[in-house]
Each structure stands twice: as structure tokens, then as C-alpha cells.
Amino acid sequence: MKWIVILVISVCVAFGAGYYIGNRAISSGILSPLGMVTPKPLLKYTIENLSRRQYVPTQIILDGATATTSAYTVYAFHYISDGLKVTGVAHIPNDASPVNKKPVIVEYRGFIDPANYFSGDGTAHSAEVYAQNGFITLAPDFLGFGGSDKPSGDVFEERFQTYTTAVNLLVSVGSLSMVDASRVGVWGHSNGGHIALTVSEIVAKPYPLVLWAPVSKPFPYSILYYTDDADDHGKLLRKELAAFEKLYDVELFSLTNYLDRVQGPIQLHQGTADNAVPLAWSDALASQLKGKGKDVTYYTYSGADHDMTGSWNTVVARDVAFYTKYLK
């Protein structure tokens, strides 16, 4: 009789362990509930998984000067991000050298229609001011823009690739001999602000961070909000999203769940007449960051639009003072 009891207990324990391991396999994307393999290739882009990844610095190649002023020279550059070529624009003070290294600001632009885009679009104007004040700036075009290689054909992977493209540039700034890699700042405008926030969460290092009207809502609302501007009013995107949500937990891809990982001081700018990013979004972001004990300085500009028109000079002057405080 005793051996029967032992046998029953052993079977129950084995069944329980198998059930637990099976559920873990299902939740991690290894198995489906029917025991079939369910590929989940985009799991590598969750913020947690991106933060665990090892990023190997690559060489940033200056491809030649495109313009020169008395204070700085503009260069086209490229680098390799996950096997793909990414182009961009650098503004480098003329006195920068291996013996006179300069701090660097990595700039991430917002959305621009590819049909109208030119290399450096969305960052060149601010970069000119930063370079005049002794900062090197590096602005990637991102995949599919400028002379960069094409991104993934998957609409969501294409978006997530902006994060890896941005991080790979950020960790590689020291490959330029005139850059002081111990003095690095980050800047982002609009969707570039979304990228900058996400990058700050991924790397979790105290980079001084400037945000102009950042897209700061949770994924996927952060993109669904703008679907009215699409020719199909977002029909295709919603269809793709429905398929995405069958496989993935969107919370794992949402920057709002990881704001505690942002380490550096933050300067946030928002125009009250912005018709692309509502004032309430930046109000909420500032409140959330301050609630987590982050060092946030928040400015609003009465009547300023999404590009800070009407207050642009004030915004940039505050940026220069901010970066000077933390990087010089």
C-alpha cells in the first residue's frame, strides 16, 4: 500500500512540475498552448531585453565636410548598427581635436515625411547653436532615411529599430578622436523625444537629457494617436496591432512603465499651442518623473507651437546653459 501512495505522490509532483515548466515556456514564447513552437522574434525589443543586451561600440566614420563656418564644420557620417549602415550629420567645433576633446550631444529628431526628408533634417538648426557653443553634435538619419539602409518590413520592428540605432550610436561616440566620451548629452524632439526617453531607460546611465515636446504616452497609443493623418486613417496599422497583441504584451514595450530607469537630469520644454503633442502629455510626464524622484526642470511657452516657434531662441539658450552645467 505504501508504495502505491509514493507512486501517486511522485506522479502528482512530476505533473505539477511539467505544468509549471510548460506554462513558463508558453509565456516566454517557446511553446504555444498546443505544444507547437510559436516564434516571437520581437521579444528581443522589449525594454527589459534591450537593457540586458550587450552593445558593442562601432566606428563612426566621417565621410567628408559638407559646410564650414568660422565656428564649426558640418560632416556627413555613417556607422554600422546591427549590420546595417546608418548615415547622419555631425557638427564639430573647429578647435576640437584629440588633444582638445569636446563634449558631445546626440540628437534624435522627430517624424518627418520620408518624401521630404534631407540628411540632418530636424536637428541642423539646434546643432548649429550647440556647435557654436563648443559642443559636438551627432544626429542619425535612422534606417530608411538619408543614405541609410532600409529598415525591417515589419511595421513594429521598424519602429523598435530606432531604439537600437539610437543606442548603437550613443555607445560609439568615443570612436571619434575629438570626442570626450565621459561628457555625453542626449536631445530629442517629438518622436525623437520618445526615442531619447526609451534610450535613457535602456542604457540607464546619467546622460543629461533635453526633451522638446516629446511623445510620452504608452505604446501603442503613442502611435495610434496619429493615425488620423494616415491615408487609410490607421486601418492597416490597427490590423497589424491586433496581430501583434495576440503574441506580445504591449506593456513590455511601453516607456511609461520604465521611467524609474532614467538616471540623468532632465530639461523638458513644451509649447502651449502645440498641435502635435498636447500640453497635458508633458504636464503628466513631468509629474511622473518628479514622482519618481527625478531631477526635472519643466518649461512651458505660451503660444509656442511644436517647433517652439516664438520661443525658439529662449529654448536653445536654456539648452546651452543646461548642457554647459552638466558637460563642461
204 and 251 together in one domain: yes
8 and 102 together in one domain: no
Starting at the edge strand that comes first in sequence, how are the strands of the sheet with 266-271 ordered?
61-68, 72-81, 84-93, 136-140, 102-108, 179-189, 209-212, 266-271, 296-301
Instruction: Report the C-alpha gap between 241 and 135 in whole angstroms.
Output: 40
132 and 252 together in one domain: yes
Q: Given this model, what pLDDT does residue 34 score?
A: 55
pLDDT lower than 50: segments of the chain:
1-31
What is the residue type of 143?
Answer: L
Q: Read off the CATH number of the domain in which 286 is found.
A: 3.40.50.1820
254 and 274 together in one domain: yes
160 and 261 together in one domain: yes
Instruction: Report the C-alpha gap between 113 and 29 in whole angstroms.
Output: 35
Q: Given this model, what pLDDT does residue 33 score?
A: 54
Helices 155-170 and 235-247 sit at what angle, rounded to 10 degrees? Answer: 80
DSSP for 252-311, written as a single string:
GG-GGG-GGG--S-EEEEEETT-SSS-HHHHHHHHHHHHHTT--EEEEEETT--TT-TTT
**What range defines the domain where residue 86 resides?**
41-327
Radius of gyration of the chain, Cα coordinates, nearest whole angstrom? 23
The string of pLDDT tens digits covering residues 113-145 is 999 999 999 999 999 999 999 999 999 999 999
For residue 314, CA distances in Å to 171, 187, 320 come to: 30, 16, 10
Asked if residues 198 and 256 have their Cβ atoms less than 8 Å apart, the reply is no
What is the residue type of 201?
Answer: E
115 and 30 together in one domain: no
Instruction: Report the C-alpha gap between 276 and 190 in whole angstroms.
Output: 8
Strand duo 84-93 + 72-81: pairing: antiparallel
Q: Given this model, what pLDDT does residue 236 score?
A: 84
176 and 231 together in one domain: yes
Which of 189, 177, 203 has the alpha carbon at shortest distance from 306? 189
294 and 281 together in one domain: yes
Tell me the pTM: 0.88
Q: Given this model, what pLDDT does residue 324 score?
A: 98
148 and 292 together in one domain: yes
130 and 268 together in one domain: yes
172 and 23 together in one domain: no
Q: How far apart are the first and last CA of the chain?
A: 80
- Structural domain total, the chain: 2
91 and 31 together in one domain: no
